[in-house]
Amino acid sequence: MAQKRKSPKKKPGAKRPQRKKPAKEKIQPVEEILFRVEGKMSTFGGPTDTGMSASEGLALFTPADLQDPKYSYLFLPTPPPGTTGLGRRLNPEKYYFACRWNYNDTPREFLKRALARVENPANGRAADARPVDWGPNISTGRVADLSPGLAKALGLQTDDFVRITISALRAIPVKTVKPVKPAKRAAPPIQPAAPTKPVIKHLSAARTVPLARSERRSTRLRQRWFHRHRTRWERNRLTCAAAGSRFRGVDPVVAPGTSDPAHEHLRPRFRAGLLPTGRDQLSGQAVRPGAPTSLDRFLGRS
């Protein structure tokens, strides 16, 4: 018996090494510097700061800001005894600072919602802090006053050098408040209409629905056909019958030689076979009063 040949198995092809795609470099936005200062520093604020008076306030905050959770963390829960200002009520452990601001370049509202980068150039430490006041005085020769807690975290002592930077990327945008739409007035309740007597339409009532265009056209055609195929004499009769309610159903034609006082006034105007001018309707000749017309002779009235 012939042996079946086994089909050779195909060897799996070697996988081609895939080239690694170069990682796309993220384009970082250019940092726009709005404020930068570098120089000597000092500390301020808190219950132990005797350099501030008991009623001294802050340039960027008011007592109303104590109710805002965004800013209330900067202050102590209760004012220190014998003080009324916000300067001595600052929490010395929080990160805040003061600089001499130019409000034309950095407005108060902008500083109130901005965060600054405070650095110690000597050891490279840095932290974020919030501006709260204007100072120190130019006569001191210093450029900034830091909170005691911030100075301790950065390893700074009085008159050490500090660098403070505020950029546009670090500013906290203010959410626009949508105007509140006035509440819609409630619609007055709909009162049910008073019951009225039912209107019963009889079949004999006049038709109020206007005729369709095709119906109006067919009516006009029937009227034209009727007037076209009627004789002038019949049209005169119809005209006479439609002259008034007292003439309807009465033949206005008066035979010659008869005297009907009720219709005598109709003889000269509505006599059959005569035109309004007094001439014969068929021949067009003048007819004497009382003389028979062509129509009278045709009907055997002469």
More confident residue, 113 or 28: 113
Q: What is the pLDDT of residues 264-290, one digit of tens each?
A: 444 444 455 666 666 776 777 777 777
pLDDT exceeds 50 at position 300: yes
Q: Where does 33-170 sit in CATH, by number?
A: 2.40.40.10
Q: Give pLDDT, residue 269.
A: 47
- Please give the single-letter amino acid code of residue 71: Y
Residue among 156, 146, 129, 142 at smallest CA distance from 39: 142
Model confidence pTM above 0.75: no
Q: What is the pLDDT of residues 100-155, one digit of tens each?
A: 999 998 999 999 989 999 999 999 999 999 999 999 999 999 999 999 999 999 99
State in Å, rounded, how far the first CA of the chain is from the last one: 141
Distances (CA, A) of 93 to 141, 147, 153: 25, 7, 10
Averaged pLDDT for residues 61-66: 93
More confident residue, 169 or 244: 169
- Domain ranges in the chain? 33-170, 214-299
Tokens standing for 56?
């001294």
